[in-house]
Amino acid sequence: MSAVSERLDTGEFDCVIADVGAAEIDDPSVLDAIRDEFCDIPFILLADEGEEIPPDVFSEGIVHTVEPDQQVPFRELATYVSATSDLATPDDQDGTADRFGVFAQHSRDAVVTVDDDGIISDVNPAACTLFGYESEELVGEPLSFVIPDRAASDAVLSPSTSGSQPSMQWQTTQLDVQHADGHDVPVLATFGAFADEDGPYYTGIIRDISQRKRLETELESHFERVTDAFFALDTDFDFRYVNEHGAELIDVDPDAVVGDNVWDRFPEAINSTFQQQYEKAMETQESVSFEEYFPPLEAWFSVRAYPSETGLSVYFQDVTERKEREQELARQRTELESIAQLNRVVHGINEALVEAASQQAVERLVCDELVESPQFDYVWLGRAQGPTRGLEPVAAAGDGPTVPAIEDEQITSTNGETLADAAVRTHEVQVVDDVETDDSDPCCGGVRDREFSSAAAIPLVYKDTLFGVLNIYSEEQGAFTEGVVDALSQLRSVVGLAYSATDRRAALIADQTIELELEIQAGESAFFQAVDDADARLELDGAGALDDHTFIEYFTVTRGDVELISERATDTDAVQEVSIVDEDGDETLLTLTIVDPPISTLLADHGGTLRTLEIEGTTARVVAELPQSASIRSIIESFEDLYQRVDMRAKREQQRPERRIAELRSALEDELTDRQREAIETALYAGYFEWPRQSDAEDIAAALGISSPTFHEHLRTAEQKLLTDLFDGNAEYVRDVE
């Protein structure tokens, strides 16, 4: 007590705040002694957790008690202390003045005092203004006269009037009070319990918050009207407000999130562009704007943040659709550029293949050119070995296993069928967009060990013949888009054609060839049925192409009814026209214009040349000359697709006696136009060069559907080219003639 008295004797204080648990003042008599000596000083008691305020401390002058976990009304206490100290009159030296009255009269907040029965006993001028009544109209009325909400009245008064400890004392409550004209006024009310000789009473400080509520409503209305989502943060980056659109975009409850720290609510944003930009704005007090992707919400946001001394205002929009559209357009531009570049590569390959001298050259060229494209990292090519023998690796380029390394593994896979296997089986392009997740095996272990992400297998097919498979790999996932596959698919037939062309070229210049003899049972073929009905026998003298889909064949009929053959053959869709070019005794020369590829064309696709075709009834005997590299099995399978049965009667190796024959045949193919070759072949088979002539120019021109002068022009030009090639290639003979 002495220590407290010494401190109070200094007079350098405006109020007394005492802890109920303090050793020197835990006795109510101590409090009474202090109040007797310093009766004009505002007095406040604090209670810690587990402590109780003595029930008889509410003697005169005890301003307030604060219990554990109770919000301290610092503003109201400071106002009271200030008013009591600063507004005391000179006549108030003995402390008899009503300090509370001084405070109430000068307060801009309404002050209402009610007795233990809830009847208004005193009001200040601000209360009269707030409620719209004179003081005499309010005094004597129950508190519910101005606070009609019964629940609010109970919340203010019931803890005290029930005789229990006033737990609601000095806790601020938002209420609606009733003005005299009938409208409600939103207020914040803070009630506390006091006592004098007449007993306890309750005083409330009531503040009109109409203007604040109106501003809040207008502000919220503004934020809700803006098309952007919005949230406000304080200087600690705690949420102060979120509009409905903003709450929807960031998936929060707009009310529950207020007071939460933004980094606690969204920890994934820590150290992200969002945190960096928000902190930069607060530090520099300059606005920032940016676009960023937020993975947890799977959304792109366009953000504008405006700082102030009190926090940060953030406006944002979900721009995911636009960003995805932009990314898709960028992806499409990149893909189109890649496809354009790939098309240039493919075009270059096409041009280079024309000069390729062998299959090995074709294979090396394709691999080397493709791996130069930035889309691809490794390419290898396997040559078809037949339906059951798989592929033979023959060329490779790029960052991957060499041809011997692939051969050592024999293209086997522990995971089942590889892409190359599937391409061989289906003759269709095979693609894996993600090697890690796709069940398909991209190839052998040597390829699996590399860091390739996507792969494609392109079957090289020309006229239903599989020559090999082109295997391409990329480190980029999804590299083989539809456009890329379309561009690569151009290589399917182009490389196949190059294979076929090199086979034919090799056959023309080779000394060693294969002679293949086949017997064909045509079955229900309409043309063969016509030959059978006519009891005829035909020998093919030659064939040519009028265009890509129409062909002309020359047959000598050595037996049978020619008229019946002509009549029955044209009844089929395959034969467009039959013409009798020449008749000589028991033999007749026929020309057939057909739309199905003839046997000679089918053999040419495999690099072969038809030497003999004899048809008797529904059976045909075929003798063909083939290069040594030709796949006999593939040829037989091609015939089996067209006819009922195909049997191989003989396979013989042949030695060409004279290279000049091949050279002349090459000139015939390379230098003559289709019309020139057609004219000279028809003339030859029609006996035009016999003496006496078996057919004249008018007959042949009519069979070809051209005029006689045109026929003579084609014939003369063809003769000149062949004779020039013959004599220009034999300089010694030319010198002898000279």
Q: What is the mean pLDDT of residues 650-661?
A: 65
Q: Where are the beta strands (DSSP E) in 419-496?
A: 430-432, 454-462, 465-474
* Gap between the Cα atoms of 456 and 473, Å rounded: 7
**Domains in the chain and their CATH numbers?**
1-100 (3.40.50), 212-318 (3.30.450.20), 328-508 (3.30.450.40), 510-656 (no CATH), 658-738 (1.10.10)
**Ranges 125-129, 418-422, 540-544: which has the least confidence:** 540-544
Count CA atoms closer than 13 A to 438's CA, side-chain side. 22
pLDDT at 192: 74
- Predicted TM-score of the model (pTM): 0.42
As given in the structure block, the two tokens for residue 131 are 């409620």
- What are the two backbone dihedrals, phi and then psi, of residue 371, each rounded to the nearest 5 degrees? -70, -15
| pLDDT one-digit tens code per residue, 678-702 | 888 888 877 788 777 777 888 888 8
Asked if residue 595 has pLDDT above 70, the reply is yes
Per-residue tokens: 392: 């033979």
- Over the Cα atoms of the chain, what is R_g? 54
385: which 2 tokens?
């070995």
Of 236 and 171, the structure prediction assigns the larger pLDDT to: 236
- Give start and end residues of each alpha helix (H) in 386-473: 403-409, 419-426, 445-448
Q: What is the DSSP string of 163-210?
A: SS--TTTT-EEEEEEE-TTS-EEEEEEEEEEEEETTEEEEEEEEEE-H
Give the number of other CB atoms < 10 A from CB of residue 502.
Answer: 21
Helix (H, G, I), strand (E, B) or coil at 47: coil
Q: Which of 17-21, 433-437, 560-564 has the lowest mean pLDDT?
A: 17-21
Q: Mean pLDDT over all residues of the chain? A: 75
Helix (H) or strand (E) holding 701: helix 697-704
Higher pLDDT, 603 or 621: 621
Collapse the DSSP code of 629 into the 3-class scheme (helix H, G, I; strand E, B; otherwise coil) and give the result.
Answer: coil
Choice between 456 and 330, residue whose per-residue pLDDT is larger: 456
Q: How far is it, in rounded angstroms, from Cα 535 to Cα 353?
A: 48
Taking only the tens place, the pLDDT of each residue in 325-352 is 888 888 777 777 777 777 777 777 777 6
> Among 95-104, 254-263, 312-321, which stretch is predicted with the lowest mean pLDDT?
95-104
Find the mean pLDDT for residues 50-63. 53
